[in-house]
Amino acid sequence: MVLVKDVDRAEEVVTYVEGFGTGHRTYGDYGDVIIYNKMGNTADTPIIHRAVLYLEVNPDGESYSCEALRDLPSDKWALSDQMDSWDHLTRAIYIYDYGYRDATVVIDVGDILDAFRTRAPSSGFITRGDHNTWIDQRYHDAYSPVDESWIVGKARGEIPWFGLLKLWFSDTLRSPAPDNSVRNLWISIILIVVTPIILDVILTYRVRKRISRKREAAVRDHDRERREEAAAPSSEEVEEGEPPAPPSDGGSEESSDQPEEIT
């Protein structure tokens, strides 16, 4: 499962050789992983492989240059032809301790140049799958370096290990998968399975607690109403009781009951 970021220029892609010097890493190794159409053919399934280095064709049309090799430590790479240099490449380039298996990557520039006998060579990226033995440009139908116009984008996201499921089920994994990829795959599967269960338990608990609070509030209201009814006098008790005495008028009524004196 990979997110793809658009690439407008070749300079936006960091190769393995460049990343080794700057510390730029993606998916467990130096450099960017790019998605590209093989030989620019959009009808085929795009390839998702790491960019190893960028070869720039020289004006003579008979050699390549790779400026990033100039800054790479000398014990990290070598050339098969002692007459070659980073700015004049005609034969094989060796990059040592590459990837999680510390492999030696061989980039035969001579084979790439031979593939352009009938046309002018082109610049582009040399790519390699992290689990593959050879670079993509070793095969006869794909000697050309990856042109920037073929690039769909560069991979972003941190869960590429789901591709292991397809490789396992299709029995196309030719070498053991990296331990971190296998570990992250199982962690992801467990999280995918367990997370909905945990969320369901939490939501159920919250709903039940809310219902319980409402029930308790209803019981309290009911008890309060019963206490208020019990404390109030009933209508029968008011009717059977003695009527209240009329208010006195300050002795005026008593004087009216006395006979008048005749003088």
Q: Is the pLDDT of residue 190 over 70?
A: yes
Q: Indicate whether 128 and 27 sit together in one domain.
A: yes
pLDDT mean across residues, the chain: 84
Q: Indicate whether 141 and 186 sit together in one domain.
A: no
- Final residue belonging to a domain, choices 130, 158, 186: 158
pLDDT confidence of 185, banded at 50, 70, 90? confident
Please give the Cα distance from 210 to 204 (Å, whole number): 10
Say if residues 128 and 135 touch (Cβ distance below 8 Å): yes
239 within a domain of the structure (yes/no) = no
pLDDT digits (tens, 9 = 90+) for 241-253: 555 566 655 554 4
The H helix count followed by the E strand count for the chain is 7, 11
240 within a domain of the structure (yes/no) = no
% of the chain exceeding 90 in pLDDT: 45
Please give the Cα distance from 34 to 147 (Å, whole number): 12
| pLDDT, greater one: 186 or 42 | 42
What is the DSSP annotation of 168-213? Answer: HHHT---SPPPHHHHHHHHHHHHHHHHHHHHHHHHHHHHHHHHHHH
Q: Indicate whether 72 and 128 sit together in one domain.
A: yes
Which pLDDT does position 110 carry in this prediction? 92
Q: Structural domain tally of the chain? A: 2
182 within a domain of the structure (yes/no) = yes
Please give the Cα distance from 135 to 8 (Å, whole number): 24
pTM of the model: 0.63
121 within a domain of the structure (yes/no) = yes
Please give the Cα distance from 63 to 84 (Å, whole number): 9
Say if residues 106 and 126 touch (Cβ distance below 8 Å): no
Q: Is the pLDDT of residue 255 over 50?
A: no
Q: In which domain, by residue range, is 127 found?
A: 3-158
